[in-house]
Structure 1
């Protein structure tokens, strides 16, 4: 039987205060309006174009966890992904912008909201209120691939000496360290290919957003109990652990489920195991995670990945509710197995 020491488990915990940002993660890093954004790669390789990007946990999970922190008015430029991109708004108010030139409308999201943007369409996001805000981001697959930038983004970046090599590696031509004739550059997406990345109607995109407090607790959840509620947010298909599809199911693959787990003060989920990866993010409050050899306390903004098959229990030891976001690998998670004893 595997013994999980406190040191081993601490290596699976990334506290918000310990997040290591990258200010040069993408090609728009010098574009006016985008210079102050910070990018984080929490689990998996992510999609950063910079060798300076710090990876907190490299172990494959079948999905990636990242983050973006931006001050008011800061913009993340228009881009497209080939795998799922899900935004969990931890703090601040944000505007999601659609279309290669932001011409296809927008959606407003705030703390506690979850938005899953369909694959193969241009999107960007802007922090709209004062102060700094943080988005916790889930990307599909172990290798989510490179970002496809809108043509105008690459043109603007070139004005500041930044280009992309084939494969998505960021090249800074202003340093004089590169002979461009020796590097095969990314030419950017062709106009006919860009035209295929169409934005769905806004009424359809609204199906991809779950506002804070609107997810309905599922009484059939095996975790449900006194003071404990689990609600489905992204459930691509009806699951073996008793969740119907939706409210976000998507017409594109996700490869994971995203749930909201709420524990009232003193509430407890008994020791149990799971057959798939489980990553926990604390939206608000405090959560004690315990296992046979020890325990740890998570606070708001912290991320923890629980080993497959390891018995774990949850308790809210604080006087206020704990609201957590839980990502489980696969589109059909199994029911947890409760440990007798």
Structure 2
């Protein structure tokens, strides 16, 4: 008897398969298991969130690569050679100039998760001929403290001095992050003490607040004020722990003032910000002011500090103080 010819997909597969290949029987429709709904959604996994640390590593890698590629061998005393195709320096040349391993430096440009010491960053900055801004950016990306930072005080330009004068009779000065007074107007010079009689190297708010008797007698609630100042100073110093000038100031304060040593031992920290203050000025009497900081650069750097009168009586007394200063100059 003749066998009925099979039709359908199974027959097609059987005819197409090589001889000796077993083709599975067609699955009946009733045996087919339906795929669960939302299969795609259930199988998808969320991409891992990129952390700030990873972003900084990649930024650091890109920054190093860009600085390396802009320097010619001749700039660092190397011979170019005839077959050089790499723009700028090779990785091994940077490693050699920085006295670090080639593999380690390669990992750094590949954004690997490796630790970089301030000393190595310093060597890289020198090898790559980084300027002040680039060096600061390098240490910031690496999350490290620069052991040899440049000065954070700006140049006191004629325009800045003119601004200080035009703010009269509002007392105003320019301070750096270490609380050194870099410049001031006439009214500020008589606000808390005879500031012009103080040596320039001693015109530091921390030193004056703890060691200058005229300053201390002018400030109402001096203990509260010095405690607040010390907490701000500790917070600011966290970014300058390796800097000799900061360490020297800290040592000087500890040596000169038992009160500072006691307050420093509290380990209190507070951020910078405006604050109401009351002064008893030796020339014009009680002054109620509100301090305000205008940053002239990065928030950890120099700032313009003003003492705005809180009432009309204080405003009039500041005008009298300015007049006294002008009279003394005549």
- TM-score with structure 2 length normalisation? 0.22
**Greater C-alpha radius of gyration:** 2
Which structure is higher in RCO with an 8 Å CA cutoff and minimum separation 6? 1
Structure having the larger proportion of residues in helix? 2
TM-score, normalised by the number of residues in structure 1: 0.21
Q: Which has the higher strand share?
A: 1
